[in-house]
Amino acid sequence: MGADEFQSWSLKGRSVDWLELKAQYPEPAGQPPRCAELLALRRVLDGTQYDDLPNPFSREKSGAGEYIPLSKRRPSVRSNLCSAVVDESTSLLFGDTHWPTIKADHSNTADALACFVRESDLPALMLDAARRGSVGSVALLVETVKRVLRVSVLDTAYLTPAWDGATRELTRVVERYMLTGQQLAEAGFEIPTERMQVKFWWRREWDDQAVTVYVPQPVAADAPEPVIDATRSVTHGLGFVPIVWIRNLAPASQVGEPDGPCTFGRAIDTVIEADYLLSQGSRALKYMSDPVLVLKSGGAPGGAAHQGGSASALNLPPEGDAKLLEINGAASGALLEMYRELRALVLEQLHGNRAHADKLSAAQSGRAMEMMCQSLIWLADRLRQSYGDGGLLPLLKMACRFSSALTDGVRIGGTDRKSLDPTGLDLHWPDWFPPTTPELLTLAQGLVTAVDGNILSNETAVQIYAARAGVPDGAGEWQRVSAQIRDAEAKAAQAAAAAKASDDRKAAIVGNTLSHQVEA
């Protein structure tokens, strides 16, 4: 085998890895290195990491007849395992019945924040933030519209934060990226027609006193210094930056580094290998359905082959031969077994759910489901620290700071809320999986015993049971239970008073009768 033949043979089985794939993405000009890394990871999360490869997987030869290596072809099968693990973990974090209960020392604070959660649709917003932040970080921007709080999710690739080393508070966030004149015109800026395709720098800054927007400047070496756009800048005077910065899989107390580790970064290479393996297997199965015919004529010309009927017979010389190039069943089985091993390796690296739903014969209890999804729960438990203690809890505290910073407070649920006290603000997380009816019955009996033995208060017992049963508003549930208890006590008191009055009347009638008899 010659050098050229060996090189061609070695390229046929080589797929691209993550470093080589990232090198083919366009570099964002004028941005720090973390911007390119976050944008590349976002491609994996969205399933578009192969879109920049120039050739489809089925194209083996170029127009000049040269072989196209696998590293230059887009795989025809995309498993998207990274995105699947992120979706499963974030759903276990904030989805459905996994939203935490808000607790505070002051009941009016807990009630106002619970109403804020419902009014702002925070469960869906935090679910989106946890998914987008899986690449390393995400930011939550809090604004007010007619004193009503509005929360939005910001991607952090084009954001640069700064913290105070002593207080560990966010002091400034700068947003800077390129836009075309056409995009600026669509956003309401006055751009001349001849400059629609010119690229401009967009810049916006948040600090503890204002939101500063700069006039877009052309991307050029001799561009003038940025000028503040006074019509679009706003002075809020809050005394704090209205942004909550969340680092993925990092403690809330950590400052300095803007990004945490990516949830799926360690498994990208393995996922790429699995995608190319499945694509090659799919191609092999298609070839097996329509295999390549090879004729060995022994130097003599063979007969012509035609489709259909007896005309498809091949006339070969005595020393000739004919064979089909196809993959056999053993090779197909080995390929699928290899993919299953790669899939298990990816889920092990990412702490994903490796349980198979088709192997469940009956409904399982909540505890059994936890044991089956233990690896996924470990991942979601770490996410609770990042997006709960480091995201949702600071967001709720910021809502309290807004109520004190604004003169008339904030408007939540149609009611003015002023100076909400965040003392004792905490999150009470529900169980990972909803309990079955027998489990709820056992819990209720245990709580009744604890309350009767003066081990637990009625309020705490109600909140524990409400969280276990999937009731999102534990504090509101205790208020409703308290109202029922008061109504029952009032009805019991009325019934006792009515019974006493009836007994008194009967006693009076009996006493009068006895006195008449004595007189007689």
pLDDT at 331: 67
pLDDT at 261: 93
Cα separation, 176 vs 153, in Å, equals 16
* Residue 50 backbone dihedrals phi, psi, to 5 degrees: -100, 0
Run means of pLDDT, 10 residues per run, the chain, 520 residues: 42 72 89 93 93 88 85 88 90 85 89 92 94 95 93 95 88 93 89 89 94 90 80 92 93 77 91 87 71 63 44 60 64 74 76 58 59 82 92 95 92 91 90 79 89 87 80 74 84 81 71 59
Cα separation, 506 vs 159, in Å, equals 83
Beta-strand pair 159-163/148-154: unpaired
Helix (H, G, I), strand (E, B), or coil: what is residue 83?
A: helix
Tokens of 343: 């899939």
In a domain, 118, yes or no: no
Cα separation, 201 vs 174, in Å, equals 13
pLDDT at 356: 54
Sequence-distant (≥ 6) Cβ neighbours of residue 286 within 8 angstroms: none
In a domain, 454, yes or no: yes
In a domain, 252, yes or no: no
Angle in degrees, 0-180, between the axes of helices 374-383 and 81-94, rounded to the nearest 10: 70
In a domain, 479, yes or no: yes
In a domain, 442, yes or no: yes
In a domain, 374, yes or no: no
- Cα 65 to the center of its chain, rounded Å: 45
* Residue 30 backbone dihedrals phi, psi, to 5 degrees: 70, 20
Tokens of 305: 């082959």
Cα dist from 117 to 120, 144, 463, whole Å? 5, 15, 18
Q: Please state, as a whole number, how many other Cβ atoms lie within 10 Å of the Cβ of residue 175.
A: 16
Sequence-distant (≥ 6) Cβ neighbours of residue 490 within 8 angstroms: none
Cα separation, 375 vs 353, in Å, equals 7
Angle in degrees, 0-180, between the axes of helices 122-132 and 107-120, rounded to the nearest 10: 70
Instruction: Give CA angle at 491 (488, 492), nearest 5°.
Output: 85
Tokens of 268: 């990208």
Cα separation, 190 vs 232, in Å, equals 13
Beta bridge partners of 178: 201
pLDDT at 15: 67
* DSSP helix, strand, coil percent of the chain (3-state; round to 5): 50, 15, 35
Which residue segment(s) compose the domain that 505 sits in? 435-520
pLDDT at 377: 87
User: What is the residue-wise DSSP string for 331-379?
Assistant: HHHHHHHHHHHHHHHHHHHHT-----GGG--S---HHHHHHHTHHHHHH
Rg (CA), the chain: 35
In a domain, 295, yes or no: no
Cα separation, 108 vs 122, in Å, equals 19
In a domain, 472, yes or no: yes
Residue environment code for 469-484, b if the CB has 16+ CB neighbours within 10 A, otherwise e: bebbbbbbbbeebeee
Count of domains for the chain: 1
